[in-house]
A and B are shown apart, each in its own frame.
Chain A
Amino acid sequence: MHTPEEIQAVIDRYPCSQQYALAAMQDMQRQFGYLPREGLEALSKHLTCPFSQLYSMATFYKAFSLKPKGKHVIKLCDGTACHIRGGSVLLEGVERELGIRPGETTPDGLFTLQLVNCLGSCAIAPVILIDGTFYGRMTLEKLPGVLDSYREEAAAE
């Protein structure tokens, strides 16, 4: 969650110049897990730029989400190397395991699934990135175990 003060603190890091729009939005996304409407409104005032322009950027760039994300973000690489090393079969496996499709969050709010383009780790394809951890040479067999480790951690909390 975010307060107006928290939002303002992020925005005040930047001078009132359009060139900082992307950076300010990046910071908000990182800190709040999404771009709150009030955040974009406050930024629009700070930069004196139309709100619709920031909204346009928010929906144009894949880094941004207008809805809050799950606790753990699963990024499944759909780069060419991963793709030809079984990426789509892996995706189906993840979809089956979690019951959601790319862009969606599990009902318990634990996982958000994203299909991303090339994480640059092609030599260990296919790759899944969960939060900051890379899982290379992923297989359907290894998948449940990896997901369970996050589920167990959440259950323990």
Chain B
Amino acid sequence: MKITIDRKPCDCEKGEYLLTVAERNGIHIPTLCHHAALGEQGCCRVCIVEVEENGRKRIVTSCVYPVSRECSVETDSEKVREQRGIILELLRKRAPDSPEIAALCEAYHAPKLDRLRALDSGKCILCGLCVQACGRLGSGAINTMLRGTEKLVGTPYNEASPDCVGCASCAEVCPTGHIVVTETADARTIWGKTFELVKCARCGAVLDTPEALAHAAKRAGQDVPVLCETCRRLKMTDEMAQTFGLSI
């Protein structure tokens, strides 16, 4: 079916999310809590757009809004600009130390509302991506706790979690770098827990923590790897060469 986004006609399937359709047609909509691999959240509300359907206009989050009928979408109407600006400014007060949020505020002309109160410090915008990543890729060691204005992300009892495998997937997906990972040649510390780092048996490159390797292997039903990706491929080609009597 056909819809229009910012007056541009776009082809799409019924049920597709507006964000996907927009991206495919080169129309950029800012997001924070959206990650292609991590399921639908729709909580940061930065990706809002104004949709007109059946003669009615309303604000929806494009990341989880399914196209169900012909409609026209505006990604930068007056209302969207005003409300997205306020949402970004609210996030800047929540995460005053985040340059990423400050940059978004600049880019989208967020109003500077000095009358609002900023937290003393911090970068967390409570987008929930870390919790999603930990749940899907890690061991479910972190989650949100409390609710409302006191909501935060962390480990139970704010202690080092026995479940954390130190994979740092959470830090990888965090849009503001709030999650601190300190790494030396031999150790990684995250969420108050320090892990050894396993090195590639062949070239010495860092693989991951032993716990993370074991966890991933168990999930995939495979053996725990001892080589890095590159060395594993090299080993495979060596073996193939030997099998077929080729020389490389």
Chains A and B touch each other in the complex, with CB atoms below 8 Å apart: yes
Q: A59 touching B146 by the CB < 8 A rule?
A: yes
Q: Which of A37, A49, A50, A60 contacts B157 (CB 8 A)?
A: A37
Query: What residues of A have a CB within 8 angstroms of the CB of B157 in the complex?
Result: 37, 55
Query: What residues of A have a CB within 8 angstroms of the CB of B144 in the complex?
Result: 56, 60
Interface size of A as a range: 10 to 19
Q: A52 touching B146 by the CB < 8 A rule?
A: no
> B9 at interface (Cβ–Cβ under 8 A)?
no
**CB under 8 Å from chain B, chain A span 59-92:** 59-60
Most buried by B among A50, A52, A53, A60: A52
Binds A, one of B75-83, B84-92, B134-142: B134-142
**CB under 8 Å from chain A, chain B span 123-163:** 135, 139-147, 155-157, 161, 163
Query: What residues of B have a CB within 8 angstroms of the CB of A60 in the complex?
Result: 144-147
Tell whether A50 pairs with B145 under 8 Å between CB atoms, given A37-B157, A55-B157: no
Chain A minimum-CB-distance residue to B156? A55
Q: A50 touching B139 by the CB < 8 A rule?
A: yes
Query: What residues of A have a CB within 8 angstroms of the CB of B155 in the complex?
Result: 52
Q: A50 touching B140 by the CB < 8 A rule?
A: yes
Q: A50 touching B163 by the CB < 8 A rule?
A: yes
Tell whether A50 pairs with B146 under 8 Å between CB atoms, given A37-B157, A55-B156, A55-B157: no
> A51 at interface (Cβ–Cβ under 8 A)?
yes
Query: What residues of B have a CB within 8 angstroms of the CB of A55 in the complex?
Result: 143, 145, 156-157
The SS class assigned to the A binding surface is helix
Query: What residues of B have a CB within 8 angstroms of the CB of A53 in the complex?
Result: 140, 143
Q: B141 touching A52 by the CB < 8 A rule?
A: yes
Q: A52 touching B156 by the CB < 8 A rule?
A: yes
The complex places the Cα of A53 from the Cα of B135 at a distance, in Å, of 10
The complex places the Cα of A37 from the Cα of B158 at a distance, in Å, of 13
Query: What residues of B have a CB within 8 angstroms of the CB of A59 in the complex?
Result: 145-147
Q: In the complex, what's the smallest C-beta–C-beta distance from B211 to chain A, in angstroms?
A: 15
Q: B147 touching A52 by the CB < 8 A rule?
A: no
The complex places the Cα of A50 from the Cα of B157 at a distance, in Å, of 14
Query: What residues of A have a CB within 8 angstroms of the CB of B146 in the complex?
Result: 59-60
Q: With A52-B142, A56-B143, A59-B147 given, can you name 4 additional A-B contacts, CB distance below 8 Å?
A: A37-B157, A52-B156, A52-B161, A60-B146
Q: What are 19 A-B pairs with beta-carbon distances under 8 A?
A: A37-B157, A50-B135, A50-B139, A50-B141, A50-B163, A51-B140, A52-B141, A52-B142, A52-B143, A53-B140, A55-B143, A55-B145, A55-B156, A56-B144, A59-B145, A59-B146, A59-B147, A60-B146, A60-B147
Q: Which residues of A are interface residues toward B (Cβ below 8 A)? A: 37, 49-53, 55-56, 59-60
| A-B residue pairs, 5 tightest by C-beta | A50-B140, A55-B156, A52-B143, A56-B143, A59-B145
